Protein backbone atom coordinates (compact mmCIF):
# COMPACT_ATOMS: atom_id res chain seq x y z
CA UNK A 1 0.00 0.00 0.00
CA UNK A 2 2.90 2.35 0.77
CA UNK A 3 4.22 1.86 -2.77
CA UNK A 4 0.82 2.78 -4.24
CA UNK A 5 0.65 5.86 -2.03
CA UNK A 6 4.14 6.90 -3.11
CA UNK A 7 3.28 6.44 -6.80
CA UNK A 8 0.16 8.55 -6.31
CA UNK A 9 2.15 11.25 -4.49
CA UNK A 10 4.70 11.24 -7.32
CA UNK A 11 2.07 11.95 -9.99
CA UNK A 12 0.46 14.62 -7.79
CA UNK A 13 3.92 16.21 -7.51
CA UNK A 14 4.30 16.17 -11.31
CA UNK A 15 0.96 18.00 -11.64
CA UNK A 16 1.97 20.60 -9.05
CA UNK A 17 5.29 21.25 -10.78
CA UNK A 18 3.52 22.79 -13.77
CA UNK A 19 1.04 24.90 -11.75
CA UNK A 20 1.58 28.54 -10.71
CA UNK A 21 4.87 29.09 -12.59
CA UNK A 22 7.65 31.26 -11.20
CA UNK A 23 8.42 34.55 -12.97
CA UNK A 24 10.50 34.00 -16.12
CA UNK A 25 13.16 36.50 -15.00
CA UNK A 26 13.91 34.30 -11.98
CA UNK A 27 13.28 31.00 -13.75
CA UNK A 28 15.77 31.77 -16.53
CA UNK A 29 18.68 32.10 -14.12
CA UNK A 30 17.61 28.91 -12.31
CA UNK A 31 17.48 26.96 -15.61
CA UNK A 32 20.94 28.19 -16.69
CA UNK A 33 22.35 27.22 -13.29
CA UNK A 34 20.87 23.71 -13.57
CA UNK A 35 22.18 23.28 -17.14
CA UNK A 36 25.66 24.12 -15.89
CA UNK A 37 25.48 21.73 -12.93
CA UNK A 38 23.48 18.82 -14.39
CA UNK A 39 24.56 18.71 -18.06
CA UNK A 40 27.86 20.57 -18.48
CA UNK A 41 29.18 19.27 -15.17
CA UNK A 42 28.44 15.67 -16.22
CA UNK A 43 30.08 15.72 -19.67
CA UNK A 44 33.46 14.66 -18.31
CA UNK A 45 32.25 11.41 -16.73
CA UNK A 46 29.96 10.69 -19.72
CA UNK A 47 32.85 11.03 -22.19
CA UNK A 48 35.21 8.99 -20.00
CA UNK A 49 32.76 6.10 -19.53
CA UNK A 50 31.60 6.07 -23.17
CA UNK A 51 35.14 5.93 -24.55
CA UNK A 52 36.13 2.88 -22.51
CA UNK A 53 32.77 1.12 -22.90
CA UNK A 54 33.14 1.40 -26.69
CA UNK A 55 36.67 0.05 -26.45
CA UNK A 56 35.62 -2.89 -24.26
CA UNK A 57 32.76 -3.81 -26.63
CA UNK A 58 35.13 -3.80 -29.63
CA UNK A 59 37.74 -5.92 -27.83
CA UNK A 60 35.21 -8.46 -26.51
CA UNK A 61 33.61 -8.79 -29.95
CA UNK A 62 37.00 -9.34 -31.55
CA UNK A 63 38.09 -11.92 -28.96
CA UNK A 64 34.88 -13.94 -29.45
CA UNK A 65 35.25 -14.08 -33.23
CA UNK A 66 37.17 -17.33 -33.32
CA UNK A 67 35.72 -18.52 -36.65
CA UNK A 68 37.91 -17.23 -39.55
CA UNK A 69 34.85 -17.16 -41.83
CA UNK A 70 33.27 -14.30 -39.82
CA UNK A 71 34.12 -10.96 -41.49
CA UNK A 72 36.23 -8.55 -39.43
CA UNK A 73 33.85 -5.68 -40.13
CA UNK A 74 31.49 -7.29 -37.60
CA UNK A 75 33.60 -5.63 -34.87
CA UNK A 76 32.59 -2.17 -36.05
CA UNK A 77 28.99 -3.28 -36.59
CA UNK A 78 28.67 -4.75 -33.08
CA UNK A 79 30.29 -1.70 -31.50
CA UNK A 80 27.91 0.67 -33.31
CA UNK A 81 24.80 -1.32 -32.43
CA UNK A 82 25.76 -1.84 -28.78
CA UNK A 83 26.73 1.79 -28.18
CA UNK A 84 23.79 3.42 -30.00
CA UNK A 85 21.03 1.07 -28.84
CA UNK A 86 21.97 0.41 -25.21
CA UNK A 87 25.25 1.58 -23.75
CA UNK A 88 24.98 5.29 -24.63
CA UNK A 89 21.32 5.90 -23.65
CA UNK A 90 20.70 3.30 -20.92
CA UNK A 91 24.04 2.60 -19.22
CA UNK A 92 24.92 6.30 -19.16
CA UNK A 93 21.49 7.14 -17.73
CA UNK A 94 22.04 4.74 -14.82
CA UNK A 95 25.38 6.42 -14.13
CA UNK A 96 23.62 9.80 -14.31
CA UNK A 97 20.97 8.51 -11.89
CA UNK A 98 23.80 8.06 -9.39
CA UNK A 99 25.65 11.32 -10.09
CA UNK A 100 22.86 13.76 -10.94
CA UNK A 101 20.06 11.99 -9.03
CA UNK A 102 22.00 11.92 -5.77
CA UNK A 103 22.86 15.61 -6.18
CA UNK A 104 19.20 16.54 -6.80
CA UNK A 105 17.93 14.51 -3.83
CA UNK A 106 20.57 15.77 -1.42
CA UNK A 107 20.21 19.43 -2.45
CA UNK A 108 16.39 19.44 -2.19
CA UNK A 109 16.50 17.25 0.93
CA UNK A 110 18.92 19.66 2.61
CA UNK A 111 16.55 22.52 1.79
CA UNK A 112 13.72 20.52 3.40
CA UNK A 113 15.78 19.82 6.53
CA UNK A 114 16.88 23.46 6.90
CA UNK A 115 13.26 24.64 6.32
CA UNK A 116 14.14 26.65 3.19
CA UNK A 117 11.24 24.97 1.34
CA UNK A 118 8.86 26.03 4.13
CA UNK A 119 10.17 29.60 3.76
CA UNK A 120 9.47 29.53 0.00
CA UNK A 121 5.91 28.35 0.60
CA UNK A 122 5.33 31.02 3.26
CA UNK A 123 6.35 33.64 0.66
CA UNK A 124 3.68 32.27 -1.70
CA UNK A 125 6.15 30.62 -4.11
CA UNK A 126 5.22 27.29 -5.72
CA UNK A 127 8.24 25.46 -4.29
CA UNK A 128 7.85 22.45 -6.61
CA UNK A 129 7.84 24.66 -9.70
CA UNK A 130 10.75 26.69 -8.33
CA UNK A 131 12.90 23.66 -7.49
CA UNK A 132 11.91 20.88 -9.93
CA UNK A 133 10.85 22.63 -13.16
CA UNK A 134 14.35 24.10 -13.90
CA UNK A 135 15.83 20.60 -13.54
CA UNK A 136 13.31 19.13 -16.00
CA UNK A 137 14.04 21.89 -18.55
CA UNK A 138 17.83 21.55 -18.07
CA UNK A 139 17.71 17.80 -18.62
CA UNK A 140 15.88 18.29 -21.93
CA UNK A 141 19.41 18.95 -23.20
CA UNK A 142 20.44 15.49 -22.03
CA UNK A 143 20.05 13.98 -25.56
CA UNK A 144 22.91 16.23 -26.71
CA UNK A 145 25.13 14.66 -24.04
CA UNK A 146 24.03 11.19 -25.22
CA UNK A 147 24.85 12.13 -28.84
CA UNK A 148 28.38 12.94 -27.65
CA UNK A 149 28.44 9.61 -25.77
CA UNK A 150 27.49 7.75 -28.97
CA UNK A 151 30.27 9.42 -30.97
CA UNK A 152 32.90 8.96 -28.25
CA UNK A 153 31.85 5.32 -27.67
CA UNK A 154 32.22 4.39 -31.34
CA UNK A 155 35.50 6.33 -31.49
CA UNK A 156 36.74 4.42 -28.45
CA UNK A 157 35.83 1.16 -30.21
CA UNK A 158 37.76 2.28 -33.29
CA UNK A 159 40.83 3.15 -31.19
CA UNK A 160 40.70 -0.21 -29.36
CA UNK A 161 40.02 -2.23 -32.53
CA UNK A 162 42.62 -0.59 -34.78
CA UNK A 163 45.44 0.10 -32.34
CA UNK A 164 44.84 -3.19 -30.53
CA UNK A 165 45.44 -5.04 -33.79
CA UNK A 166 41.96 -6.61 -33.87
CA UNK A 167 40.76 -4.88 -37.04
CA UNK A 168 41.90 -2.55 -39.78
CA UNK A 169 40.51 0.97 -39.90
CA UNK A 170 38.79 0.26 -43.23
CA UNK A 171 37.07 -2.88 -41.88
CA UNK A 172 35.92 -1.10 -38.73
CA UNK A 173 34.50 1.88 -40.65
CA UNK A 174 32.81 -0.50 -43.09
CA UNK A 175 31.20 -2.27 -40.12
CA UNK A 176 29.96 1.05 -38.73
CA UNK A 177 28.25 1.79 -42.05
CA UNK A 178 26.90 -1.76 -42.51
CA UNK A 179 23.06 -2.04 -42.50
CA UNK A 180 22.65 1.27 -40.67
CA UNK A 181 19.04 1.97 -39.65
CA UNK A 182 18.49 5.70 -38.86
CA UNK A 183 15.47 4.89 -36.66
CA UNK A 184 17.81 3.29 -34.12
CA UNK A 185 19.22 6.75 -33.35
CA UNK A 186 15.69 8.17 -33.09
CA UNK A 187 14.76 5.30 -30.76
CA UNK A 188 17.76 6.09 -28.55
CA UNK A 189 16.85 9.78 -28.34
CA UNK A 190 13.21 8.96 -27.48
CA UNK A 191 14.48 6.76 -24.64
CA UNK A 192 16.91 9.46 -23.55
CA UNK A 193 14.24 12.17 -23.25
CA UNK A 194 12.06 9.89 -21.10
CA UNK A 195 15.07 8.86 -18.99
CA UNK A 196 15.92 12.56 -18.52
CA UNK A 197 12.42 13.23 -17.15
CA UNK A 198 12.79 10.24 -14.79
CA UNK A 199 16.22 11.42 -13.60
CA UNK A 200 14.84 14.91 -12.91
CA UNK A 201 11.62 13.95 -11.12
CA UNK A 202 12.15 10.77 -9.06
CA UNK A 203 15.18 12.13 -7.12
CA UNK A 204 13.28 15.41 -6.66
CA UNK A 205 10.35 13.47 -5.22
CA UNK A 206 12.55 11.67 -2.69
CA UNK A 207 14.26 14.90 -1.68
CA UNK A 208 11.11 17.00 -1.46
CA UNK A 209 9.06 14.57 0.63
CA UNK A 210 11.82 13.27 2.90
CA UNK A 211 11.45 13.57 6.68
CA UNK A 212 14.11 13.69 9.36
CA UNK A 213 17.56 15.21 9.60
CA UNK A 214 20.94 15.08 7.88
CA UNK A 215 21.20 11.27 8.19
CA UNK A 216 17.91 10.83 6.35
CA UNK A 217 19.21 13.00 3.47
CA UNK A 218 21.86 10.35 2.77
CA UNK A 219 19.31 7.55 3.00
CA UNK A 220 16.96 9.42 0.66
CA UNK A 221 19.80 9.83 -1.89
CA UNK A 222 20.47 6.08 -1.83
CA UNK A 223 16.77 5.23 -2.13
CA UNK A 224 16.28 7.66 -5.02
CA UNK A 225 19.22 6.13 -6.93
CA UNK A 226 17.81 2.62 -6.49
CA UNK A 227 14.29 3.56 -7.61
CA UNK A 228 15.49 5.75 -10.48
CA UNK A 229 17.61 2.87 -11.78
CA UNK A 230 14.74 0.39 -11.40
CA UNK A 231 12.32 2.67 -13.28
CA UNK A 232 14.87 3.33 -16.04
CA UNK A 233 15.39 -0.41 -16.58
CA UNK A 234 11.63 -1.13 -16.64
CA UNK A 235 10.90 1.79 -18.99
CA UNK A 236 13.80 0.69 -21.19
CA UNK A 237 12.23 -2.76 -21.55
CA UNK A 238 8.79 -1.33 -22.33
CA UNK A 239 10.09 1.20 -24.88
CA UNK A 240 12.23 -1.43 -26.58
CA UNK A 241 9.23 -3.70 -26.90
CA UNK A 242 7.03 -0.86 -28.22
CA UNK A 243 9.48 0.77 -30.61
CA UNK A 244 11.57 -2.17 -31.85
CA UNK A 245 9.39 -5.21 -31.07
The total number of structural domains that make up the chain: 1
Burial class of residue 16 in the structure, from the number of CB atoms within 10 Å of its CB (0-12 exposed, 13-18 middle, 19+ buried): middle
Chain segment 24-59, per-residue pLDDT in tens: 888 888 899 989 988 888 899 999 999 999 999 888
Are 49 and 150 in contact by the 8 Å Cβ rule? The answer is no
The pTM of the whole model exceeds 0.85? yes
Q: Which domain holds residue 154?
A: 43-244
Chain segment 4-15, per-residue pLDDT in tens: 888 888 888 888
- The answer on pLDDT for 1 being more than 80 is no
- The answer on pLDDT for 21 being more than 70 is yes
Chain segment 182-200, per-residue pLDDT in tens: 898 999 999 999 999 999 9
Angle among Cα 182, 186, 191 to the nearest 5 degrees reads 145
Q: Flag whether 108 is in a domain.
A: yes
Q: Flag whether 16 is in a domain.
A: no
pLDDT band for position 71 (cuts 50, 70, 90): confident
pLDDT band for position 149 (cuts 50, 70, 90): very high
Q: Flag whether 142 is in a domain.
A: yes
Q: Flag whether 130 is in a domain.
A: yes
Kindly state the average pLDDT of the residues 127-146. Answer: 89
* pLDDT of res. 164: 83
* pLDDT of res. 111: 85
Q: Flag whether 219 is in a domain.
A: yes
pLDDT band for position 23 (cuts 50, 70, 90): confident
Q: Flag whether 191 is in a domain.
A: yes
% pLDDT > 70, the chain = 100
Q: Flag whether 32 is in a domain.
A: no
Q: Flag whether 125 is in a domain.
A: yes
Amino acid sequence: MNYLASIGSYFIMIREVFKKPTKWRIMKSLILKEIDELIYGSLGIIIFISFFIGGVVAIQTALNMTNPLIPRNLIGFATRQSVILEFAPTFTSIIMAGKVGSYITSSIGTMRVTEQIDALEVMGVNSLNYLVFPKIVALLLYPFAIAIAMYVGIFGGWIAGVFGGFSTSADFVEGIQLDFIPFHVTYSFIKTIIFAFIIATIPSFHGFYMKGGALEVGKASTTSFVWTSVVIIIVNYVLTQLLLG
